[in-house]
């Protein structure tokens, strides 16, 4: 799982990845789900990590990544649909950069610019309401 998690972290290193994994393990309002494709190494090929607010039926995507070789195959959308169903979520949001906006838009999210949160980096809030 950590190999895929590293793909969605800014400047990943072992210490940073271990801190993130520990936060998921220790916080009951955080959940991480992995998708495994049948391969010889049996490593996770996609992950999604959430911060849950069960009282509001809301969640925030903290991490989402699909192995580079499998991007564009629909696995990311399947993960989103699955966590919505499992957690009975009626709203889901994520903050992202320009590179991932089209993925969220094609997954049914409404996109709003947050402006430059970091020098030269425009960030976006992506929100999906589920009926």
Q: How does pLDDT run across 95-126, given as a tens digit for each residue? A: 999 999 999 999 999 999 999 988 888 999 99
CATH number at residue 84: 3.40.630.30
81, pLDDT greater than 80: yes
Q: What is the pTM of this model?
A: 0.88
Cβ burial of 60 (10 Å; 0-12, 13-18, 19+) is middle
Average confidence (pLDDT) over 71-89 = 93
Would you place residue 41 in the very low, low, confident or very high pLDDT band (cuts 50, 70, 90)? low
Q: How many domains does the chain have?
A: 1
Query: Which domain, by its residues, includes 49?
Result: 2-129
Average pLDDT, the chain: 91
């Amino acid at each position: 799982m950590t190999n895929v998690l590293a793909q969605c972290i800014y400047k990943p290193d072992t210490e940073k990845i271990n801190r993130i994994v520990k936060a998921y393990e220790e916080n009951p309002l955080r959940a991480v789900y992995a998708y495994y494709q049948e391969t010889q190494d049996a490593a996770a090929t996609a992950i999604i990590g959430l911060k849950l607010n069960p009282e509001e039926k809301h969640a925030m995507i903290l991490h989402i990544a699909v192995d580079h070789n499998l991007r564009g195959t629909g696995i990311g959308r399947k993960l989103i649909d699955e966590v919505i169903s499992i957690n009975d979520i009626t709203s889901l949001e994520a903050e992202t950069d320009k590179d991932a906006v089209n993925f969220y838009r094609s997954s049914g999210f409404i996109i709003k610019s947050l402006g430059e949160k970091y020098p030269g980096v425009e960030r976006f809030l992506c929100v999906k309401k589920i009926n």
